[in-house]
Amino acid sequence: MNFKKLPYSLLVKICSIVAFVCMFFPLVVVSNGGQVFTKYNGWNLISGIDFSASLDVLAETQQTATMDIMLLVVACMIISAVALSVKNKYGLRIGAIASGLGALATGLFIVEMNNGLAMRIAAIAADSQYSFTSWPEFSYTAVLFTMLGVLVLQFAITVLANIFSPINEVQTTLLQKRAITGYMFLMPFIVGFLLFFLTPAIKSLVFSFSLVDVHGTGGYTVNPAGWYESATGTIFVPANYYRALLVNVDYPTYLLTSIGNLCTTLPLVVIFSFFAAVLLNRAFKGRGFVRAVFFMPVILTSGVILAIETSDVLMSTMQASFQSQVSSSGSTGMQAFELQTMLTALNIPEKIVTAVMSVVNNLYAIISASGVQILVFLAALQSVPRSLYEASSIEGATGWEDFWKITLPMVSPYFVVNIVYTVVDCFTSAAKIGDQYSSYSSILDYIYDVSFVQMDYGLGSAMSWIYFLCIALIMAVVVAIVNRFVFYYDER
Amino acid sequence: MSTEVKSKYIDPVTHEVLTPTEYRIRQKAKMKKKLGKVGFNIVFFVIVFGICFIILYPLFVKFSVAIRSQADLYDTTVIYIPRHFSLETLKSIWDLVLKDQVMTMDNNIIINTVWTSLLAAVTQTVACTLVGYGFARFKFPGKNLVFGLVILCLVVPPQTIQLTYSLHMQNFDFFGIVNYLFRTRVNLLDSAIPFALIGLTAQGYKNGLYVYMIRQNFRNLPKELEEAAYVDGAGSLRTFVQVMLPSATSILVSIFLFAFVWQWTDTYYSGVFLENIKVMSKVLNSLAQSYWMAFKSALEQSNIPNALASQINNIGSILVIAPLFILYTFTQRFFVESVERSGIVG
């Protein structure tokens, strides 16, 4: 059998997909409240972890270590899979090293799991509230199964690397060298992603599937709760996702309101920023000054200033009352009101009037939210090749035709960019959820309140993950729709 | 005689000899065109400067509110220009709240803010430049996947991972190795290290955006630059530092400005990482409250008057904005330039 003839990359791909699926195995266990392994007598991955200060430091560090080592296994698998797809000696070496590290980490993981379990069982035994009598016997079986699976996978990857990598091809080509240099340039981000994004994100995901009890000393206890409900002893406790969507009164309303707000803000911001970019792209006197002013909100109205200006409802009611104190008429609010009465007097349908009024009232918010988008569009407008306009003017096209036939198609990819950015910006910054719900300025404020004031971390994380899913879904839909109309001049 | 008539009705562009009627028609068309241009310009300037006004108006109002006396706050006839110019509120804020925090050497809010902002800006600029350059100029498998991860980091609301983030920094570790080997925990909270760490690993606030902007900037540079450098014997790093970086000054300054300013006004990261160390944004957030706490003892009233709170917040905003405003007036030309620069097509 000639190994060289086999579809090398396909096998590696299949292998890494299997490995990738396996990485989610612990998460599946967690998301089911530890119920996957009922046949192994109910092995729970992180059940009853107690970080409280009353336990000694050893137990605490072991628990953290267990979690982190699990992540190390994941990281090693990803690295080995990626490295092995680079088909040269470096790829092989990196892949082999990563696989070895992965195996080592799996070993650590097993040791830690056992130690950690022992510690936990001791801790739980001391606490009369829990009575998991059947714990000690099964844990080894389950852990051994996981370990075996991971080891077999690592072994398979290593063997595949040995067989299918072109070892005789010692000389790397220029392209391969450049690929490796490219990875080196990306290294800061990859390390940061694993360390400062994936680790907290997975922990937060685990929290969202658990009941998190916070102790006064700064420690906390995590109990698996799953999707819908969990029974602690005999008492029925609805789990976080269930509570967030079906029990909590405020959260669904806030969620829908902020999604509705996005639907009105998104087109306004994108269209306004395109309009402003087209305006600023013209040559006119004082362009430098005008550009400086247009980008000023990005710089000056950010973070705490923005929070104070717009999102902090307490403050804005203060300002509203302050304005009414300062001037009985003549303020902007009053003029907007007059515009509204004028429009209604003109027999314009009420829906249109409210839509126009929402634009007029939010004009400043829209302008200050579109600074970065204007920057992106301006750069895009500048990058349209002049030769296209020259050719069209020779053909006798007017400025109007130039705009629709050249400018818009050439700039259209940047609409996708700006839509993504606007959705992100709307959702992650302090977006207002409307005046009728005036106790919180934004849904993120509400989540913050739930997590850090009401001390319900599990519910808070569940809410923010639902929120994130909504963002991702909306973004995917909008981008998919817009992508149909986008024209790509050259694929680089 | 006839030559005189001719010279009167000559088209200024084509030098054709015209009849008086023809001449008048052309003259009219010209006037129409000119008027249209003037009208368009008027509309254009009204729109552009109207938007400028909308942007500048809140700043102006802030300033106007800040420099009036407290009596003017309740005077309904005073709208923009105060009747009594006075800095009494500013002075009493300074005496009651800010003096202790600015005039000491330990836990000085100005030093803390400048230090964290500079650190964040420098590290984020360096890391994002490297990553953005890697995305722009190299081809390798998995590039789109990693770029997708960059976008993912941008999309997940930072608040989602707020708690675990702070726990992570409180119990800092590199994949459990430190804990496993040394059995200790490393607490990084209340120090500047987390800012440097997340900066160096391109995980700071909106770093995905910076990576995207830098990628866009480097992408448009001609490939011949790189090839020439390679022929002359420069390695990848040398090409990056000596050939590519000099042409990216303006975008780097823009990114630096973004990072600096957004750290300066940030409350999220300083809330997660800093508990006892005070920075300006956090002080500003509770300025009205802490002012009233210090002031209350003299006046037996539990709630701060709305107008006064508003004035205090305006003054605080101006104090925070002022250095940024000065910084922006010096660096805005790089902003404008960075737009022009990214328009180079290779």
Helix (H) or strand (E) holding A50: strand A49-50
Q: Which of B46, B149, B154, B175 to mutate to test the interface with A (most CBs of A within 10 A)?
A: B175
More confident residue, A344 or A39: A344
Instruction: Count Cα atoms within 13 angstroms, Cβ side, for A75.
Output: 23
Pick from B47, B49, B161: CB nearest A201: B161
Provide, as residue numbers in chain A, all residues whose Cβ is less than 8 Å from the Cβ of B153. Answer: 193, 197
State what percent of residues in chain A have pLDDT above 90. Answer: 2
Q: What is the pLDDT of residue A431?
A: 46
Based on the domain organization, do A333 and A205 belong to the same domain? no
Half-sphere exposure of A154 (CA within 13 A, CB side): 25
Output the pLDDT for position A129. 39
Q: Where are the beta strands (DSSP E) in A241-365?
A: none
Q: In this model, does residue B270 exceed pLDDT 50?
A: yes
Q: Do A451 and B162 touch (CB under 8 A)?
A: yes
- Please give the pLDDT value at position B134: 92
Q: Which CATH number covers residue A264?
A: 1.10.3720.10
pLDDT at B126 over 90: yes
DSSP for residue A53? T
How close A39 comes to chain B (CA, Å)? 30
Pairing of strands A49-50, A220-224: antiparallel
pLDDT at A33: 38
Judge whether A244 lies within some domain: no
Residues of A in contact with B78 (CB under 8 A): 326
By C-alpha distance, the chain B residue nearest A425 is B155
A257 and A185 fall within a common domain: no
pLDDT for B130 beyond 60: yes
Same domain, A291 and A359: yes
Higher-confidence residue: B141 or A57? Answer: B141
Q: Are residues A254 and A231 in the same domain?
A: no
- End-to-end Cα separation, chain A, in angstroms: 40
Decide if A75 touches B, using CB distance below 8 A. Answer: yes
At B191, give phi and psi (nearest 5°).
Answer: -140, 175
Is 60 exceeded by the pLDDT of residue A5?
no
Using CB atoms and an 8 Å cut-off, which of residues 82-111 of chain B contact chain A?
Answer: none
Burial B23-32 (b: 16+ CB within 10 A, else e): beebeeeeee
Domain endpoint, select from A178, A212, A238: A238
| Mean pLDDT score of chain A | 66
Residues A225 and A293 in one domain: no
pLDDT at position A136 is 35
- Condensed to tens digits (0 to 9), the pLDDT of residues A121-140 reads 455 444 433 333 333 333 44
A488 within 8 A of A436, measured Cβ to Cβ = no
Q: Are residues A400 and A454 in the same domain?
A: yes
Over residues A66-80, the pLDDT tens digits come to 555 566 666 666 666
Residues 175-234 of B with CB under 8 A from A: 175-177, 179-180, 183-185, 197-198, 200-203, 209, 211-213, 216, 219-220
- pLDDT, residue B314, reads 82
Contact B148, B156 (CB under 8 A): no
Contacts of A326 in chain B (CB under 8 A): 73, 75-76, 78-79, 307
**In this structure, how many other beta carbons lie within 10 angstroms of the beta carbon of residue A341?**
10
A136-168 residues labelled b (16+ CB within 10 A) or e (exposed)? eeebeebbeebbeebeebbeebbebbeebbeee
Q: Check B146 against A61: CB less than 8 A apart.
A: no
What's the pLDDT tens digit per position in B249-262? 888 888 898 899 88
Between residues A4 and A372, the one the model is more confident about: A372
- Kindly state whether residues A207 and A343 are assigned to the same domain: no
Q: Same structural domain for residues A231 and A284?
A: no
A165 in the same domain as A132:
yes
| pLDDT (0 to 100) of residue B65 | 80
Chain A residues with CB inside 8 Å of B321's CB? 300, 305
Is residue A245 domain-resident? no
Per-residue pLDDT at B127 exceeds 50: yes
A151, A201: one domain: yes
Mean pLDDT over the full length of chain B: 80
- Write down which residue in A238, A271, A300 finishes a domain: A238
Encode pLDDT of B272-298 as tens digits: 888 788 888 888 877 877 787 777 665
Whether A336 and A208 map to the same domain: the answer is no
Residue range A209-268, pLDDT digits in tens: 777 766 654 556 666 666 666 555 555 666 778 777 877 778 888 888 888 878 888 888
% residues pLDDT > 70 (chain A): 48
Q: Which residue of A has its CA nearest to B334?
A: A292
Residue B71 confidence (pLDDT): 75
Task: State mean pLDDT over A470-476.
Answer: 87
Binned at pLDDT 50, 70 and 90, residue A86 comes out as low
Mean pLDDT of B87-101: 80
Q: How many domains does chain A have?
A: 2
pLDDT tens across A442-470, in order? 777 788 778 777 777 788 888 888 888 88
Domain boundary among A238, A272, A298: A238
Residue A462 lies in a domain: yes
Helix, coil or strand: residue B68: strand
Q: Nearest-CA residue of chain A relative to B176?
A: A65
More confident residue, B12 or A215: B12
Q: What share of chain B is helix, strand, coil (3-state, %, to 5)?
A: 75, 0, 25
Sign of CA dihedral A29, A35, A40, A44: positive
Residues B293 and B93: their CA atoms lie apart, in Å, by: 11
**Do A220 and A290 belong to one domain?**
no
Domain of residue A161, residue span:
3-238
> b/e map of B217-240 (b: 16 or more CB within 10 Å)?
bbbbbeeeebeebeeeebebeebb
Most confident of A12-21, A78-87, A327-336, A412-421: A412-421
Q: What is the pLDDT of residue A236?
A: 61
DSSP track, A438-456: TT-SSHHHHHHIIIIIS--
In this complex, is the C-beta atom of A446 within 8 Å of any C-beta atom belonging to chain B? no
Cβ atoms B93, B315 nearer than 8 A? yes
Chain B nearest C-alpha distance from A196 (Å): 7
Establish if A488 belongs to a structural domain: no
pLDDT, tens digit (0-9, with 9 covering 90-100), for A294-313: 888 887 777 677 767 654 44
Quick check: A281 and A382 in contact, CB under 8 A? yes
pLDDT-derived band at A50 (thresholds 50, 70, 90) equals very low
